[in-house]
Amino acid sequence: MSRYFNTTGLCFPEQHYMVDPFRNLYDDVRRLIDNGQYFVIHAPRQTGKTTLLHQLAHRLNKEGSYVSVVCSLESAGYPGITVESANMSFISSLHLTASVFLPEELMPPDPVKYSPGPNLFRLYLTDWCRMLNKPLVLLLDEVDSLYDDVLISTLRQFRDGFQTRPRNFPQSVALVGLRDIRDYRLRARADNPSIGSGSPFNVKAESFLLTSFSPGEVRSLLDQHTLDTGQVFSPEVFEKLFEYSGGQPWLVNALANEIVAKMLKNDFSRVITGEMVDQARERLIVQRQTHLDSLTDKINDPRVRPIVTAIITGDAPAFDGFDDAMRYCRDLGIITPAAPIRFANPIYREIITRILNAAFHESINQDVASTSWYLNEDGSLDMDKLLKAFVDFYRWNSESWLERFQYREAGHQLLIMAFLQRIINGGGRIEREMAIGNGRTDLVVFWKKQVFPIEIKILHSARSEPEGISQLSRYMDKFGQKRGYLILFEKKSSDELPWDQRIRREVHHADHREIILMGM
């Protein structure tokens, strides 16, 4: 069977194109296992954690020094389940999945022989370890899916069993999930008295973050396809595919699969071009498959909201709780792992902004949103006319619309982005640049051969306007443009500052560049 780009579940070398699942972690992980240490592996969803665990267990079993299995705890990952029921679920899952990794003589005891109890998981593992003639290495997936007392009880059972390893308990245990162990307390109720002030799992030796693919790993993945099929990728494909995905493993595979399997229908004689990557990106955004659709739930999380708001507005977020919120967003894979803090990749950025302004995008009057209304006779886009239409729309509708946005603090930016997106979708595209602390939101509209740099700012003080002109001038340099647009939104209400005083259009010149300022 020919290999393909996998976007669902585990990866297998004989079926799928793969990079090294350990991402250079194997030696460090093996050192901890040999030293009898417990450790954590965490990463956002669909970055290869489960594939790594399965490969690690099979490799350890093959090498022969250890008995190793993977067990997912997700079956008990719902609110309200009791500790006793969760323990029964754990041992049943462990017994079932052990058969994938081990021969009959190394299998754990039959769960039917055990009665529910608060320490059943520890007791079961102790009985199994005493049956084995080699140390046990247990790899637990989806640990942070557990809630409340179940999570705390599970961690404490492993902490208590740690003292009796390796003869009476696993020599090494890996806890694997979205978040590091320090954030597991977020999963439990803040008022839960059983948590206490100490850590329920203070025997962790080290934490590993499974990173996204590097540019070299993306190229390696595509090279495997070329080696198997002879299909050629033009040079710009590698660069664009990495840029759009940010190396996120699922996105890399999804973009490649969209082109090869869906757009070209496995016609390997076709050369894959950068334009095809552009088309695949837009198709993924529109389709919003399960991985991408999960962003909806994430941005509704109150811990995510201040970070997303600050990225869109370019403002500095409130310092209270900022570090925890930022770490949480990074563990979820929403933002970049290092400064500047921005969305993890252009595809996430596009989907998040479209989700947040979707209601407005769909509700805007069709007469106002007709693309043809803003085109010149030669088919070029009249940006002045388009922005004047937005100013008029904003004057008569903004106060009611801004109140409807879930992210009210970013409402001005979301409003104009939705307005432009609805019209530009008729034949162009919008690229957005956002980061915490930028003090602005940058857009560039591409329409055929036309390029329109646009900067959006809130008029916080007298410095906002000159800063905006200077910032836009530098942004225009990036695209080699001599003309750009600065959109300034007043923070004051129309009661404080009447519309006839706040709406203005001015032309500024800076370093031989023309900047059209539109205040409203």
In order along its 520 residues, the chain shows pLDDT tens digits of 689 999 998 999 999 999 999 988 999 999 999 999 999 999 998 999 999 999 999 999 999 999 999 999 999 999 999 999 999 999 999 999 999 999 999 999 999 999 999 999 999 999 999 999 999 999 999 998 999 899 999 999 999 999 999 999 999 999 999 888 766 655 554 444 444 444 556 667 788 989 999 999 999 999 999 999 999 999 899 999 999 999 999 999 999 999 999 999 999 999 999 999 999 999 999 888 778 888 888 888 888 999 999 999 998 776 666 788 888 899 889 999 888 899 999 999 999 998 888 777 777 766 676 888 999 999 999 999 999 999 998 998 887 777 777 787 888 999 999 899 888 887 898 999 998 888 889 999 999 999 999 999 999 889 999 999 999 999 999 999 999 999 999 988 888 889 989 999 999 998 889 999 999 9
Same domain, yes or no, for 114 and 243? no
Rounded Cα–Cα distance for residues 507 and 492 (Å):
23
Buried b (16+ CB within 10 A) or exposed e, 82-120: ebbebbbbbbebbbebbeebbeeebbbeebeebeeebbb
Strands 428-433 and 172-177: unpaired
Q: Is residue 195 part of a domain?
A: yes
Q: Is residue 301 part of a domain?
A: no
Q: What is the 3-state secondary structure (H, E, C) of 402-470?
A: HCCCCCHHHHHHHHHHHHHHHHHCCCEEEEEECCCCCCCEEEEEEECCEEEEEEEEEECCCCHHHHHHH
Q: Is residue 377 part of a domain?
A: yes
Same domain, yes or no, for 354 and 248? no
Count of domains observed in the chain: 3
Same domain, yes or no, for 174 and 258? no
Q: Is residue 305 part of a domain?
A: no
Q: What is the pLDDT of residues 370-396, one digit of tens each?
A: 888 999 999 999 999 999 999 998 998
**C-beta of residue 407 within 8 angstroms of C-beta of residue 312:** yes
Domain final position from 188, 209, 230: 209
pLDDT at 492: 84
pLDDT at 184: 67
Residue 471: domain span: 321-519
Q: Is residue 384 part of a domain?
A: yes
pLDDT at 148: 87
Q: Is residue 10 part of a domain?
A: no
pLDDT at 468: 94
Same domain, yes or no, for 481 and 503? yes
What single-letter DSSP state applies at residue 234? -
What single-letter DSSP state applies at residue 253? H
Q: Is residue 302 part of a domain?
A: no
**C-beta of residue 33 within 8 angstroms of C-beta of residue 57:** no
Q: Is residue 335 part of a domain?
A: yes
- Helix 411-424 vs helix 346-356: crossing angle, to nearest 10: 100
Same domain, yes or no, for 380 and 286? no
Cβ atoms within 10 Å of 150's Cβ, excluding its own? 27
- What tokens does 158 get? 């492993």
Beta-carbon contacts of 70 under 8 Å, excluding residues fewer than 6 positions away, are 50, 53, 54, 57, 97, 100, 101, 139, 140, 141
Beta-carbon contacts of 157 under 8 Å, excluding residues fewer than 6 positions away, are 119, 121, 122
